[in-house]
Amino acid sequence: MTLHKPSGRLHSITQEDVAREVGVSRTLVSFAFRGAPGVSDETKQAIFDAAKLLGYRHNAAAADLASKRPSTIGLFLLDLSNQVYVDIFSGVREALSPMKKRLILSVSHSRGSIDQGSIGSLIEARVGVVIAATLLEPDAEVQELARNVPLVNVTRRVEGVDSVYSNDVAGARAATEHLLRLGHTRIAHVTGPTHQGHEERRQTYEKVMREAGLVPQVVFVHDYTQEAARQASDQLFGALDRPTAIFAHNDEIALGVRESAYVHGLEVPRDLSLVGYDNSRIARLHGIDLTSVDLHALELGRTAGITALERLANPTHPVIERMLEPRLVVRSSTAAAP
């Protein structure tokens, strides 16, 4: 088959043009681009070669509209500056790649109510499913969103919504009990703003401390960032009865606490034991060596991707819930109480 590159075309190249060039039906061209069965490898290659020569670009969104069966998946991420969300993205992409599904990424511009711009852009793109990591809104708002678009909620369980999450109760208990076993009794918890569905780490810390006959000490910071944690932690280190150990809500906050400790002349772990949460890449860096709870972010992403594919294939499937068990990774940032 000889392909002839057209010259001087003024109109957009369509599937009809590709079909005419190859000498097949437009339906067969459509099947080839959709990966549908019934097209031989030889014909498929001829169609793709002709499309490349003619400059045809397949419009997957338009194809979704025409077929009335969306094949695109949207991914909403709360914060790309946090390595956890980068790992979740990698896991989602890994799960979707073999299925050749389109993935549209949207990142939050706010930390308050549902980011209407970011979520809305995915809905406007007519995605078949939205994977959301992480929504900070109350359960009722997440449930309302799920009524507008199929939703896979990641890092948190919401009743009646497909949810993929890590067992924060088990993770927080492991972190707090680790510090207790090291002989610490003045253990503080530094956490972010209060959001429904994201309080289990704090609540579990408080429960374990009371079970041990100890008084919990919680410091709230206005944002889940190193800088906010550094500023909020200053109040901890000026008192004579300062904590000898701190369990932080995540690794970012733990690093902010670490900076504040050094400013006050404290060394980790000689003067202060420190536990983070997420087991992000930065926790594993030489010189940081942060003891941290691994919530398996990459696996969370993979599982969310698989769940989204299942929801896409079967919109009426009962609600899917998948929980991963975290693991405490002990490094050199924790030691026996001074």
Residuewise pLDDT in 10s, the chain (338 residues): 555 555 444 457 787 888 888 888 877 777 777 666 667 888 888 888 888 888 776 655 555 544 555 678 999 999 888 999 999 999 999 999 998 788 999 998 655 455 566 787 888 788 999 999 999 889 999 999 999 899 999 999 999 999 999 999 999 999 999 999 999 999 999 999 988 889 999 999 999 999 999 999 999 998 888 999 999 998 899 778 899 999 999 999 999 999 999 999 999 999 999 999 999 999 999 999 999 999 999 999 999 999 999 999 999 999 999 999 999 999 999 999 99
State both tokens at 240: 């004579």
pTM for the full predicted model: 0.79
CA distances from 285 to 74, 82, 279, 282, 300 (A): 32, 15, 11, 5, 22
What is the three-class DSSP state of 103? strand
The phi, psi pair for 100, rounded to 5°, reads 55, 40
d(CA 141, CA 152): 14
Q: Is 215 exposed, middle or buried (0-12, 13-18, 19+ CB in 10 A)?
A: exposed
